[in-house]
């Protein structure tokens, strides 16, 4: 049997390009489509339909449109793997198609006038009803007469048009809608290495679709992936006094909506999952090994240092849908490693963990946080705090490559011991909790490989589903601030109003100054 992806693979060096090699996929559910805005030697849009386990593809120089009065040239190119549905990034110069790519639109489609879209393509005329974020309604692709069709894809030209239907818009120009529907980025952003932004919200239709699934679950299309979600009406978080309990359905909706915001602190890192499959009011457990039943698109990192009996393969959340999968897997907390997988022994953050004792009041913890703010400001160090969603406060300090965990641990210890000398009555340096006399601990020991703190925007396993939320330094003086102030019901509103303060840490890696 001929491999439909043989041409695609022969044109690429996967040791250099980040594009997926992929395999012919097993189809399930409604077929999907994607449009990628691709700046290679020339700007064009790539229109791809999922047919028979691959993406049948056309390059559209001026892009698809909702304008029924416009005809677009579309050049039939090689089939791509289904994994290309989510490809967004930069193809290196010198490689085939070198340039930056965004997922301009994606969704599902229905073939029209045929039950065999592959046969329709072979016959030279494909009619589809598309259900995308930008493209809606009837698209038609018709092959133009060619002198030599034997040359195959890449040589035959087609015409693309939008029928005059309820979704048609005269004068509609794709260039007026330049952002990715997955990451909220433009092509310039991708080229510059800008991380995904909160602009990439989940469409209301996807949240509505989740709400319409039965309590037993079903297949949910979100962030371009199909997930099998289960036990949607199961209570995972008890309610706070006067509030309703929170179900798995609500957790999945939050995970989907917050994923583009949380992803920059997870991508490229091993993630330790804190699972509570029976709910936050029952005992949880750590799950680090990527399960064999995880979908193929859930990325994996194999730990080269794993000894016998230790975790060998970790989940890596490199796309928004993975956070939804983790939540469906019962992970109520997401703990990313401080280091990235390509340099597991080099932390990218130095972490300060302000861990209150039994006797530590909230006001006393704020005193400790403000003293760290003053010390860091005096040192000229860029850092920001976040409330943990439970009782504590953490401070994240981005650092340049090259530091070891011993380096960051020693630096944070010097910083915190300097602060602790100012208020010795509030701090204990004892290791055992019982020996601390109820005092706070300024914990520098979390600066170690495979020791993690809860990730920004992660839920916590407590009544009301509190969230670990990044804050600005001046918010330490807000009288309404509490470590568990925000929940999965209010965190998204905060993001909409104030954005993500930790964005300021991305790209702010710095050398750590000496502390005398």
Could you read off the pLDDT of 97-106 as tens digits, one per residue?
999 999 999 8
Q: How many residues does the chain have?
A: 516
Residue 148 pLDDT greater than 80, yes or no:
no
Task: Provide the pLDDT for residue 194.
Answer: 75
Q: 56-65, 120-129, 313-322: which has the minimum mean pLDDT?
A: 313-322
Backbone torsions φ then ψ of 221, nearest 5 degrees = -95, 115
Q: In angstroms, how far is CA 194 from the centroid of its own chain?
A: 13
Q: 148-152, 284-288, 453-457: which has the minimum mean pLDDT?
A: 148-152
**For residues 509-515, average pLDDT:** 94
Residues 240 and 463: beta-carbon distance below 8 Å: yes
Residue 48 pLDDT greater than 70, yes or no:
yes
Residue 355 pLDDT greater than 90, yes or no:
yes
CA dihedral 242, 246, 251, 257 (to 10 degrees): -30
Residue 349 pLDDT greater than 60, yes or no:
yes
Confidence of residue 147 (pLDDT cuts 50, 70, 90): very low
Residues 47 and 63: beta-carbon distance below 8 Å: no
Task: Provide the pLDDT for residue 72.
Answer: 97
**For residues 349-375, average pLDDT:** 96
Residues 506 and 384: beta-carbon distance below 8 Å: no
Residues 339 and 348: beta-carbon distance below 8 Å: yes
Residue 121 pLDDT greater than 60, yes or no:
yes
Residue 150 pLDDT greater than 80, yes or no:
no
Whole-number average pLDDT of the chain:
92
Residue 39's contacts (CB-CB under 8 Å, 6 or more residues apart) are: 99, 100, 101, 187, 191
Give CA–CA dist 492/499, Å, rounded.
9
Task: Provide the pLDDT for residue 488.
Answer: 97
Confidence of residue 71 (pLDDT cuts 50, 70, 90): very high
**pLDDT tens-digit map of 267-316:** 889 999 999 999 999 999 999 999 999 998 899 999 998 888 889 999 99
From residue 392, how far is each of 330, 395, 412 by CA, in Å? Answer: 24, 10, 17
Residue 425 pLDDT greater than 80, yes or no:
yes
Task: Provide the pLDDT for residue 254.
Answer: 96
Confidence of residue 192 (pLDDT cuts 50, 70, 90): confident
Task: Choose the most confident range, by mean pLDDT, from 10-24, 243-257, 496-510.
Answer: 243-257
Residue 406 pLDDT greater than 70, yes or no:
yes
Task: Provide the pLDDT for residue 26.
Answer: 77
Q: 66-75, 462-471, 476-485, 489-498: which has the minimum mean pLDDT?
A: 489-498
Q: 60-64, 286-290, 432-436: which has the minimum mean pLDDT?
A: 432-436
Give CA–CA dist 13/5, Å, rounded.
14
Residue 195 pLDDT greater than 70, yes or no:
no
Give CA–CA dist 56/53, Å, rounded.
9
Task: Provide the pLDDT for residue 189.
Answer: 86
Give CA–CA dist 237/308, Å, rounded.
36
Percent of the chain clearing pLDDT 90 (strictly above): 76
Residue 68's contacts (CB-CB under 8 Å, 6 or more residues apart) are: 161, 162, 163, 164, 165, 168, 170
Residue 482 pLDDT greater than 50, yes or no:
yes
Confidence of residue 1 (pLDDT cuts 50, 70, 90): low
**pLDDT tens-digit map of 19-31:** 998 888 876 678 9
Give CA–CA dist 338/346, Å, rounded.
8
Residue 200 pLDDT greater than 60, yes or no:
no
> Strand 393-398 relative to strand 313-316: parallel, antiparallel, unpaired?
unpaired
Residue 37 pLDDT greater than 80, yes or no:
yes
């Amino acid at each position: 049997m001929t491999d439909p992806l043989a041409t695609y693979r022969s044109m690429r060096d996967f040791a250099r390009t980040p594009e997926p090699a992929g395999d012919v996929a097993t189809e399930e559910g409604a077929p999907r489509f994607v449009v990628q805005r691709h700046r290679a030697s020339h700007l064009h849009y790539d229109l791809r339909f999922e047919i028979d386990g691959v993406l049948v593809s056309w390059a559209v120089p001026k892009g698809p449109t909702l304008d029924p009065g416009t005809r677009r040239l579309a050049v039939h190119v090689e089939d791509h793997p289904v994994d290309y549905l989510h490809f967004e990034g930069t193809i290196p110069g010198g490689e085939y198609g070198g340039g930056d790519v965004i997922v301009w639109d994606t969704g599902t489609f229905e073939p029209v006038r045929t039950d065999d879209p592959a046969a329709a393509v072979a016959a030279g005329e494909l009619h589809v009803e598309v259900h995308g974020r930008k493209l809606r309604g009837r698209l038609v692709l018709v092959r133009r007469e060619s002198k030599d069709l034997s040359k195959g894809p890449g040589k035959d030209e087609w015409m693309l048009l939008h029928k005059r239907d309820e979704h048609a818009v005269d004068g509609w120009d794709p260039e007026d809608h330049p952002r990715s529907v997955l990451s909220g980025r433009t092509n310039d952003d991708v080229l510059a290495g800008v991380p995904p932004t909160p602009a990439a919200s989940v469409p209301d239709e996807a949240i509505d679709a989740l709400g319409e699934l039965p309590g037993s679950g079903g297949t949910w299309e979100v962030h371009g992936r199909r997930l099998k979600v289960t036990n949607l009406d199961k209570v995972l978080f008890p309610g706070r006094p006067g509030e309703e309990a929170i179900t798995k359905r609500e957790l999945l909706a939050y995970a989907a909506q917050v994923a583009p915001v949380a992803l920059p602190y997870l991508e490229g890192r091993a993630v330790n999952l804190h699972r509570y499959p029976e709910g936050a009011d029952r005992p949880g457990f750590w799950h680090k090994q990527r399960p064999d039943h995880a979908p193929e698109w859930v990325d994996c990192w194999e730990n080269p240092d794993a000894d016998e009996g230790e975790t060998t393969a970790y989940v890596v959340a490199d796309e928004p849908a993975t956070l939804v999968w983790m939540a469906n897997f019962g992970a109520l907390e997401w703990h990313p490693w401080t280091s990235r997988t390509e340099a597991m022994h080099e932390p990218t953050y130095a972490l300060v963990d302000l861990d209150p004792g039994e006797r530590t009041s909230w006001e006393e913890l704020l005193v400790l946080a403000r003293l760290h703010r003053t010390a860091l400001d005096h040192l000229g160090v860029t850092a920001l705090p976040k409330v943990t969603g439970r009782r504590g406060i953490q401070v994240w300090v981005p650092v340049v490559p090259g530091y070891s965990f011993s380096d960051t641990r020693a630096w944070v210890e010097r910083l915190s011991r300097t602060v602790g000398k100012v208020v010795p009555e509030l701090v204990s340096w004892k290791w055992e909790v019982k020996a601390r006399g109820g005092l706070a601990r300024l914990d520098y020991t979390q600066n170690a490989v495979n020791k993690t703190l809860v990730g920004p925007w992660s839920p916590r396993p407590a009544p009301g589903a509190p969230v670990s939320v990044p804050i600005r330094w001046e918010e330490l003086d807000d009288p309404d601030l509490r470590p568990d102030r925000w929940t999965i019901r209010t965190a998204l509103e905060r993001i909409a109003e104030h954005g993500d303060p930790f964005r300021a840490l991305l790209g702010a890696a710095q050398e750590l100054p000496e502390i005398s």
